[in-house]
Structure 1
Amino acid sequence: MKLLSNSRYKKMRLALLIFSFVIMNAHFILAQEKVQIIPQPSSIGYGNGTFVLKDKVTINASEGLQNEVQFLSALLQKGFSKTPKLVKKGIGILLKIDESLKDKLGEEGYTLSVGRKGIYITGATATGVFYGIESFRQLLPVDFEFEKTYKSVKIPFIEITDKPRFPWRAFMLDESRHFKGKEAVKNILDQMSMFKMNTFHWHLTDDQGWRIEIKKYPKLTEIGSKRRDTQLSRKSEERVGEPHEGFYTQSEIKEILAYAESKHINVVPEIEMPGHATAAIAAYPWLSSMGVPQEVSVTFGKLDDSFNIADPKVVTFLTDVLDEVIKLFPGEVIHIGGDEVNFKPWEDSRIAQDFMSKNGLETPIDLQIYFTNQISNYIDSSGKRMMGWNEIMGTDIHEDDGKTSAEAKQKLAKSAIVHFWKGDLKLINEAVEQGYDVVNSNHWDTYLDYTYERTPLSKSYAFNPVPEGLNKEYHYRILGTGAQMWSEWIPTVASMEQQVFPRLAAYAEVGWTTLENKDFERFENTLKLIKQRWKLMGISFYEGD
């Protein structure tokens, strides 16, 4: 037998190694195709084999995970038609809190391991464990929660380590313009939960309706929650031809808050001030800057009147409202809007002008910042933080008369969170450099009432909340992003769903997934499975390009 030369042996050995690498890579790709999760996890490692999850599976959980056990049990019961038993040991599903992971994965990160001995979901907190369960949920067959009963399910051996890119991952629902009701809100919370979105921004007051019960001021809902008609389309004199109304009692809000808490979703209420105040003024005319009676607006846009914030009684009214809101909502942030204030009523008001002169306020923008700081300090005193749209910094982002208003001398309180929605992106840079935390919801990229022609799915997915060129030392000041569902022209739940889905999934990945792990083609492939789920759930979604 002819012996191979040393050089030929090395060449053959190298070829064999390359061949082995290709085979291993092929296995990696095949395995990877089995694991499709939105938002894409930080890292996924693949093993060789599958775990057979049977209908007699058991759950072993750490103390403090009763909510997570209940959620997982209900999920498995839907697919197996059996409620899993809770045990202290054995092969099955282990849910574990490991506080030592906090440095590595933060409050919301988790690990998900599937191997021969079972399924292990670990987080530094209950929130992390919950998100691990949501990822595990997407490993199950699409129809697992619907109709068909399974005896067993095969899950590939995997190791997932995951944590979010941003701490603020929000969806906003405007219910002032069109009231949707608590079942629609709960359904939205369900979808947010599946995609690990942690903040529900609830727009509850505006010109066209006051949607939250305030016990000290009952007319806010007796009068302010009802309008006699609704504008049919933009800049149109046509009307729908029927009244619109609705509001949440505080008892109903508590029910929704408890539901959100079970999904690890924080609820941020938005109570608009000092503009977008017509519904409140209709209920209590003495709140008006113009001094004339108003009705709950049937038209949309930037309206004339606003709260007369130069009157101490009006400021007391607003802090009274905030007292009930602060007591009701357990979260750390109260949103006060602060956008699209019409300054002409203050310019024409002797009360406002005297107040400005007395307090050294040179412009209406200064008056707004002065008031906003009063409210910010009041909210701070309760242990919470104020948030508002980026007009609260004093920049005229509208330039309605073709020129920028005089620069404000007043400076916004540093504790305020600036919610950017409009204007030059350099305003974000200026805000963070001045020490403000910012949530970036640039309307061109995140407004869900915009058509898919204007904001296609690919544009939603491509959005980066950190502006290009922002110095890295300020990146931590960008808390995250929000997707806004304004409802002026979105009257029904079905029409709302068409606007929200599938773009909500894209915004979830914007908020959670690192830039290097984003891949639109991979996202679209995974989205096909999510769409199958939505169909089974009865959710309407946009199916165009």
Structure 2
Amino acid sequence: MNLKSFLPAATVTVTLFSCRDIREGTADYAIIPLPQHTEVTPQTKPFILDKGTVIVTPENDNEMKTIAGFLNAYIDECTGYTLATSTEATKNYITLNIDKSIKNPEGYRLAISSDGITITGGSHAGVFYGVQTLRKASPVEASDKIAFRQTNIEDYPRLAYRGMHLDAGRHFFNVEQVKQYLDLMALHNLNVFHWHLTEDQGWRIEIKKYPLLTEIGSKRKESLRTDGVKGTDGKPYGGFYTQKDIQEIVKYAAERYIEVIPEIDLPGHIKSALAAYPELGCTGGPYETAVEYGVHKDVLCVGSDKTLPFVKDVLTEVMQLFPSRYIHIGGDECPRDRWKECPKCQALIKAQGWKDTKQYEAEDKLQSYFMTEVEKFVEENGRRIIGWDEILAGGATPNATVMAWRNAEYGAEAAKKGYDVIMTPCGQLYFSAMDVLNLPGDNAIRKVYDFNPVLSDMTETDAAHIKGIQACLWSEDIETMEQIEYRLLPRLAALAEITWNGFDKQNRDYHEFALRMFNIIKRYDKYGLSYHKGAFEVTSDYENDTLNRKLSIRLNTLGNRKIYYTLDGSEPTEASQLYKEPFTINSNAILKAKVIMPGETDNSLVCDTISVNKATFCPVTLAGQPSPTYTYKGASILTDGLTGDTRYNTGRWLGFLCDLNATVDLGKETEVSSAAFRTDVAIGSAVMDITGMEVWCSADGKHFTKVAESSKPVLKKDDPDGIYRHELTFDTQQARYVRIVGKITPKLPSWHTWPGGDAFIFVDEIYVN
């Protein structure tokens, strides 16, 4: 696979000339990400790129010559020839230059006249992105000549940090695979590569002062199977990057204007280092490089006088290899179990006078102390640190940048405290998560495209601390480039769009974006890239019209293909109803919809059941609001007649960090004798069940009477995940208003991965009969 050959499509015309077919392609500026401002001059003579075109660069500018080399490679992929280069302008030219008056260093101007093309950047990086635009506007089909309509483009990115992460700890990817990853990033205008190099399951970076880190720590005795079968494969596994490898990759990334940020995960996720140097742990070992994923109790001994010198030595070599402004030091998922039992750690706590408080345990201060010491060292070397959002526990290091992964609210909290934030919430931007990828149709893409890192309650000052967005790719079940591509594509297009163009919904049109993405997906096909084909599926969008008591249904598919549907559960055919515009229903129905077009072989089918009870399509008010991350279309989800499956993040479930307290207005006094709702339980993800339920009735919406209640114990560790239905029956009541209360688990139990943490409940539908 040659990623340089991945060029967006355009039209191709064939003209007979001198008994030979001359293939002339036409550039198309509807690319991803879409430039900020594009002005095409209609009915003017286009510029024709041909073998006589010359690439013009400033004299003695070697960096610009490298960019010209990229441009020539892209042209060669399209035309089969390379262009001459010069330092003097001609009439048939592509000129590359810099204008410091362009304020954004990654910004550029692309001006096309009948004589030639001029790309002017605020820096060399800006010129590079101008070249990428020219690359993606050029036709993908083989062309002898390319016609570029006269156009003026002014473009720049909205975010300075446009990131993509790769975990090499669980599975190792060689130098060539990392380069291919960087090529995909460059194609999508991403500029930060977050490289996760150390993990419980493997230490992947050569540190010359500590050779055992790679001699021992880079290897594990076996791996968990990735084929869906539980258990291990029984095969030894290993791999690491030499310092020469690192230098090669950093140089390769820099040529594509990608900053490489290394992550050395501290003080947890460190069993691979403890296996090599057991004296760094609280128990002294012996330790083994981990096979199982998850959170491991063995972490660095912060109380040991050997730990900080070791960390400083490692980071010294890391900083010599990586010129990045940031060094990522992890800080996530570090349990305190060993510290509570360790004499050295307890001695340090005593010496510092740390005590348990309502907010933090004394052991939390150990992590804050350790991270602060690491930060001081990194800053002494002219760098800054990034850490996962758990570094806020115990009081964050003073100048850290916080990477918010658990949800966007943690990022908002950090911003309010004055910390710079990179948003990478797992619900939207963990591209490794198959439960998100398997959402029907283009829902996984929508999750990325619709993500707004600036929450509604953030002030302008808070919002200014949101410095970037990053998606993450963890490699627990990823081993090959094909698997990487499948997880990234086409969501990488949506990430490119929001990081480059911003996330203001008023200025964005998803359906216009989807058409551009449809073209990109066809290019993925042409160049053999693996991608998630669910984007082609029909998707359904429902709006609960509680005013008129009916459900509005909209069907979508990329590329404006023909959709046929039925409402009686029968299989759609070309004789079925052709979808033209949104329609409504107000009774039980089984919706089935699919694309039927000549040449289509995809038989994917939308199938949804709408079930009506007395609460369906009725207005709902909530006393406590759902989490912003899991609000979706709000309270109306609870009475739209639609139920969710076991994936709580599909948009069918509301996620609460408080009690469910929902009041349904039935519209008039009605006989009622039962009320119910469903919860979705995923214990490992802190999604618990209710601990009690109440039903209240009222005639006027002001004076309520409790008519039923129940309680249940907090879930145990071995209780099953899945959907739980909760129902209470009571003597028949005359009521217009019915209030349903579901009591949340107050705190996660002691056996949980995050003991004492907040627990969610997820609710999808309310039933009143």
- TM class by smaller structure: 0.7 to 0.9
Of residues 503-512 and 327-336 in structure 1, the stretch that sits farther from structure 2 once superposed is 503-512
The answer for the alignment partner of 2:139 in structure 1 is: 141
1:420 maps to 2:404: yes
SS in 2 for 1:169: strand
CA offset at residue 52 of structure 1? Answer: 1.3
CA offset at residue 517 of structure 1? Answer: 4.2
The answer for the alignment partner of 2:481 in structure 1 is: 493
Structure 1: distance between partners of 2:226 and 2:205: 26
Of residues 263-272 and 411-420 in structure 1, the stretch that sits farther from structure 2 once superposed is 411-420
CA offset at residue 237 of structure 1? Answer: 5.8
Structure 2: distance between partners of 1:111 and 1:130: 11
The answer for the alignment partner of 1:525 in structure 2 is: 515
8 Å CA contact 1:169–1:199 kept in 2: the answer is: yes
The answer for the alignment partner of 1:53 in structure 2 is: 49
Structure 1: distance between partners of 2:130 and 2:77: 19
8 Å CA contact 1:40–1:518 kept in 2: the answer is: no
1:96 maps to 2:97: yes
Q: Highest relative contact order (Cα 8 Å, sep 6+), 1 or 2?
A: 1
Structure 1: distance between partners of 2:145 and 2:376: 57
SS in 2 for 1:374: helix
Any gaps of 5 or more consecutive residues in structure 1? 1-31, 395-407
1:238 maps to 2:231: yes
CA offset at residue 185 of structure 1? Answer: 0.8
Higher helix share: 1
CA offset at residue 192 of structure 1? Answer: 0.7
Of residues 303-312 and 82-91 in structure 1, the stretch that sits farther from structure 2 once superposed is 82-91
The answer for the alignment partner of 2:185 in structure 1 is: 192
Q: TM-score of the superposition, structure 1-length normalised?
A: 0.87
Of residues 339-348 and 432-441 in structure 1, the stretch that sits farther from structure 2 once superposed is 432-441
Structure 2: distance between partners of 1:141 and 1:389: 42
> What amino acid maps onto 1:509 in structure 2?
E
The number of equivalent residue pairs is 490
Task: Spell out, residue by residue over 1:309-334, the C-alpha distance to the aligned partner (whole angstroms, 9 max, x if none).
Answer: 11121111111000000010011000
Task: Spell out, residue by residue over 1:403-444, the C-alpha distance to the aligned partner (whole angstroms, 9 max, x if none).
Answer: xxxxx3xx3233210001115x44333322322100011110
SS in 1 for 2:72: helix
CA offset at residue 168 of structure 1? Answer: 0.7
8 Å CA contact 2:375–2:400 kept in 1: the answer is: yes
1:292 maps to 2:299: no
Structure 1: distance between partners of 2:149 and 2:498: 27
The answer for the alignment partner of 1:260 in structure 2 is: 253
Structure 1: distance between partners of 2:490 and 2:230: 33
1:537 maps to 2:492: no
1:359–1:235 distance in 2 versus 1, CA, 3 Å: farther
CA offset at residue 241 of structure 1? Answer: 2.6
1:234–1:445 distance in 2 versus 1, CA, 3 Å: farther
The answer for the alignment partner of 2:701 in structure 1 is: none
1:35 maps to 2:20: no
After TM superposition, which residue ranges in structure 1, 4 or more long, deviate above 4 angstroms? Answer: 233-237
Identity of aligned residues (%): 37
8 Å CA contact 2:28–2:138 kept in 1: the answer is: no
SS in 2 for 1:315: helix
CA offset at residue 492 of structure 1? Answer: 2.4
Of residues 132-141 and 112-121 in structure 1, the stretch that sits farther from structure 2 once superposed is 112-121
> What amino acid maps onto 1:248 in structure 2?
Y
SS in 2 for 1:505: helix
Structure 2: distance between partners of 1:294 and 1:543: 43
1:304 to 286, 297, 310: 297
- Computed over aligned residues only, the root mean square deviation of the Cα atoms, in angstroms, reads 1.9
8 Å CA contact 1:40–1:517 kept in 2: the answer is: no
SS in 2 for 1:221: helix
Structure 2: distance between partners of 1:534 and 1:509: 17
The answer for the alignment partner of 1:9 in structure 2 is: none
8 Å CA contact 1:460–1:507 kept in 2: the answer is: yes
1:487–1:178 distance in 2 versus 1, CA, 3 Å: same
SS in 1 for 2:403: strand
User: Within 5 A, what are the aligned runs for 1:72-471?
Assistant: 72-87=71-86, 88-91=88-91, 92-102=93-103, 106-143=104-141, 148=142, 150-232=143-225, 238-362=231-355, 363-394=362-393, 408=394, 411-423=395-407, 425-451=408-434, 452-453=437-438, 456-471=444-459
CA offset at residue 527 of structure 1? Answer: 1.8
Structure 2: distance between partners of 1:344 and 1:168: 36
Of residues 474-483 and 382-391 in structure 1, the stretch that sits farther from structure 2 once superposed is 474-483
Higher strand share: 2
CA offset at residue 236 of structure 1? Answer: 8.0
SS in 2 for 1:525: helix
1:83–1:309 distance in 2 versus 1, CA, 3 Å: same
CA offset at residue 228 of structure 1? Answer: 1.2
The answer for the alignment partner of 1:15 in structure 2 is: none
Structure 2: distance between partners of 1:44 and 1:428: 34
The answer for the alignment partner of 2:763 in structure 1 is: none
The answer for the alignment partner of 2:573 in structure 1 is: none
> What amino acid maps onto 2:110 in structure 1?
L
Any gaps of 5 or more consecutive residues in structure 2? 1-25, 356-361, 536-769
The answer for the alignment partner of 2:643 in structure 1 is: none
Task: Spell out, residue by residue over 1:171-201, the C-alpha distance to the aligned partner (whole angstroms, 9 max, x if none).
Answer: 0000100111111111111111111100000
The answer for the alignment partner of 2:495 in structure 1 is: 507
CA offset at residue 375 of structure 1? Answer: 0.4
Structure 2: distance between partners of 1:262 and 1:439: 24
Task: Spell out, residue by residue over 1:76-120, the C-alpha distance to the aligned partner (whole angstroms, 9 max, x if none).
Answer: 233333321223011211111000112xxx111111111212111
Task: Spell out, residue by residue over 1:346-377, the C-alpha distance to the aligned partner (whole angstroms, 9 max, x if none).
Answer: 00111100011101233111110110000011
Of residues 57-66 and 312-321 in structure 1, the stretch that sits farther from structure 2 once superposed is 57-66
Structure 2: distance between partners of 1:483 and 1:307: 28
Structure 2: distance between partners of 1:381 and 1:316: 15
8 Å CA contact 2:33–2:501 kept in 1: the answer is: yes
